[in-house]
Chain A
Amino acid sequence: MTTYIKAAQTISPQETFPDKGIPDTICEYSNYLKCIFPDFKQYFTPLQLRRMNTLIKAGNVCAIETLKEAGIDKPDCIITATGLGCIEDTEKFLHQILQTGEGLLSPTSFIQSTHNTIGAQVALNVNCKGYNVLYAHKSTSFENALLDALLLIKENEASNILVGGFDEITNENYLLKSSIGQYKENCTNLTILNTNSKGAIAGEGTSFFLISDHKSAENYAIVESVNILSSCNSIAKVKEWHNQVLRKNMLTIANIDIIFSGINGDINNNEIYFEIINSVYNDSTHAYYKHLCGEYDTASAFGLWIAAKAIKNNNLPKHFIIKDKERSIDNVVIYNQDNFKNHCLIVLKKI
């Protein structure tokens, strides 16, 4: 059973939404990257707008545009992914509890802090009563969701599956994570390739895809496989795993035209990526994408959006490229890892 990406939309810190191509120029941010949001007023009534927080609005709108692009009113299933859910409302509710000493609270923030709220709202909006799950497993959340979609297609349980990944950054969360060295301070997204300090560049984004078993000339790419390696910190094993994954997909390293790696500006993380891409993917074009979106748990969903567009257009702007082998774009992998612990590899093929 072949699985296709039929539609792909992303709301990111760049001009990407709706229906935009890969950006040629990059918006620069200092410290952390925030999304450029569309005008939500064209999608919702004022009453609806008041009830929703930003991430919920972004999730709903991104899902709407993805379905529109696919020409599908209602998907069979909805699978979503987030590392932390709506942080803004989690923080709001926490503050209310702590500041009022557990006083009288409005339930809105509590309801909106529940991680599955976006998948549920989209289901409600499009009246989708099918399978609906949310994965919340750190940096592998989105790959878990995409893997699930592949399984459903294999099971003949569904033909059209809406898969989304979303996370948001707040100033408070940024400060907390920088205080323990997870995020970088005094930096810009334009220099993450060549930093020699600890901490990733923080970011956020919402991406949705329509994953389908229908063949169409309009499709972006074939999702060959989604692979997750948990808790591995041996460089030799990780390298061998890359080779194994490709063999399983009837490919060799030499077939891979582009590897998109999750280089995020953290010196330790960057080193691991360079070690893997330089030794394993010697003949491939090396590309990165987090200078556009920053680091967040579901950032690889943005990576998939870029990769899907690059395959369809057979073109990738120069600013993504670390080392160019000037190959035609037929086979692409997206490699993401989290502090040398959880590793994910999405394998895409031209249709």
Chain B
Amino acid sequence: MTGRVFVTGIGVISAIGNNVRENLDSLRNQKSGIGKIEILDTIHKDEFIAGEIKYTNNQLSDLAGISEGDNLPRTSLLALIAAKESILNSGIDLSDKVRTGLIGGTTVGGMEKTEKYYYHPELNTDFIKSHSCGSITEQVAEYIGVTDFVSTINTACSSAANAILHGARLINHGYIDRVVAGGFDALSKFTLNGFKSLFILSPELCTPFDKNRKGLNLGEGAGFIVLESEELLMKSGKKPLCRLSGSANANDAFHQTASSPNGEGAYRSMAKALKMAGINADQIDYINLHGTGTDNNDFSEAMALKHIFGDKIPHFSSTKPYVGHTLGAAGGIEAVFSILSITEKLIFPNLFFKDPIPEFGISPVQNVITNVDVKNVMSNSFGFGGNDTSLIFSSN
């Protein structure tokens, strides 16, 4: 791929805010959104905490500016809010004739409604049609008016990062000229109980890359970015936020749910992204980690960081202690945070970190760094099945 693809808009909703401005304020003020579960109807409310968005579906529907109330899956509402914001932020007009794509990443699609009505189809059968991953993206496409290209990727927790990667490729191939790409997932009993059964949920606030990390906190939300071709920008004269300079996908091929102890998949995706961006490892100013807070992920990712960066690891942090692990949305939300790092000259801390993992002795950023010149940011997203993806955003 040789073309240049630029970021012109961002949109996000997470446990730390309904939009980019609110998320940025929380990031800057080191305010975590993880806490008691109040909206999701689960018996594990007192056992686990989560990065839950404290709005009912009716309230989210209002935020999305539609009158569907609780009729749409929560996932669709979250996705619509973030997608709409990214479009508004980019200033693109979807009614013009420019070929536009919408690519979404999600792990469980409309599961939140399915689990609610599965034993009560007499109350509502909409879940049968809105259950699939693709149906959520399709609903968003209908609301925002994207018709040229609509697609959905599910590579577990790297889904959104792969949606962004694919969107950029489609622009480079001339299939479309711009794309709204990202990810979305709502909290559900299905995923909460799934991660519980894997014994990787922490009952306390997650502490990625800490010696005493106890697992992850789940979260929910959506994050989208708007990518435009260089040609389109030359025509409009619009000033982009930054550029997606590198994106790469590799497979760890080690285990169905666990990462390899040597971090090979993570190493491969990071190395390939650097190569594509045409920069050396020492030109990365900040790494937004996958950093879930599980024993396994953080060890494997730290190993890969050592492998790529040697003893000169740049500033790095996981922003999951702010929003939780938002699964299919993570790569989208963290892409937005990575872009904000460049545009706002900020590096976000890895909240709640205390002691480094003894084997590595590396510590993430622990307080917000302001007025820092961030030229290149790497954002990592790794998923079950060894699906590893790294994105690089650059200021030039």
Contacts and interface: CB of A to CB of B under 8 A. Distances in A.
Interface in A232-263: 232
Interface residues of B, number: 63
Nearest to A175: B121
A129 B250 contact: yes
B366 interface: no
B173 A120 contact: no
Given A83-B134, A116-B387, A117-B385, A133 B114 contact: no
Interface in B127-147: 128-129, 131-135, 137-138, 141-142, 146-147
B44 interface: yes
A85, A115, A141, A231, most chain B CB atoms within 10 A: A115
Nearest to B115: A94
Contacts of B135: 138
A297 B135 CA distance: 12
Contact of A136 (B118, B125, B142, B152): B152
Contact of B134 (A107, A110, A137): A137
Contact of A124 (B169, B190, B196, B255): B255
B359 to A, nearest CB: 24
Classify chain A's interface size.
35 or more
B257 interface: yes
A311 interface: no
Contacts of B151: 135, 137, 140, 144, 228
Contacts of B166: 133, 148
A167 B107 CA distance: 16
B149 interface: yes
Contacts of B173: 151, 154
Contacts of B150: 137, 230-231, 342
B162 interface: yes
A132 B155 contact: yes
B256 A116 contact: no
B11 interface: no
Contact of A137 (B114, B152, B189, B254): B152
B30 interface: no
A176 B169 CA distance: 38
Contacts of A140: 134, 151
A122 B197 CA distance: 24
Given A116-B383, A230-B148, A134 B153 contact: yes
A114 B194 CA distance: 10
Interface string A89-103: 000011001100110
13 contacts: A102-B189, A105-B193, A120-B251, A120-B387, A124-B254, A128-B251, A133-B153, A138-B152, A155-B169, A180-B128, A180-B129, A230-B147, A231-B142
